[in-house]
Amino acid sequence: MKISMFPTLVLVVSLFAAGGQTVAQATQSSLIDQLKKTRVSDIEGGLPQQSFDGWFAGLVKPAEIDYEVKDCTDEAAATEGGRPVSCVIAYTKPPQPGWNRWIEIRFFVVGPPERGGARVTVRPLIPRLFQACAGPSDPKMKRPTQCYPKLSDLEKAVRPPTSH
């Protein structure tokens, strides 16, 4: 029997509420792994056929990156059609304690639809970009954080122009 990770997400959300933290942590890990492996060209046309993890690491090097999963209860789309939504966040680790993240990219991951009370097995969905923001990591800098609706816009803002 093949089970995709999204039916597991619905199950884990229920278990997490009941104290099944270990299972929830495993699902968080699978959501992060899914984002890391997703090709950026699948997220946005015109970007390279490269994994998100490789693309993001190349964009921000030498900065270190990390990932986290949060409920989107504070976001505009906490549920979509009554289905649970998680936010998978990729970000640069602050270079010093108390400093901000330099870049933070948020994706929505929607749970599977239900049909007649039973979960429907669907293939993994492509994470959808919510926003990509870049700002100064040093809190003393007065430059405002800029948010972009597309990864290509973030890429243009962060990468220095190449000379030909």
Instruction: State mean pLDDT over 137-156.
Output: 88
Quote the crossing angle between the two packed helices 52-60 and 151-158, to the nearest 10°.
Answer: 20
Q: What is the pLDDT of residue 27?
A: 76
Report percent pLDDT > 90 for the chain: 32
Location of structure tokens 């962060």: 158
- Exposure b/e, 45-76, CB count within 10 A at least 16 = b: eebeeeebbebbbebbeebebebebeebeeee
Mean pLDDT of the chain: 73
* CB 109, CB 126: distance < 8 Å: no
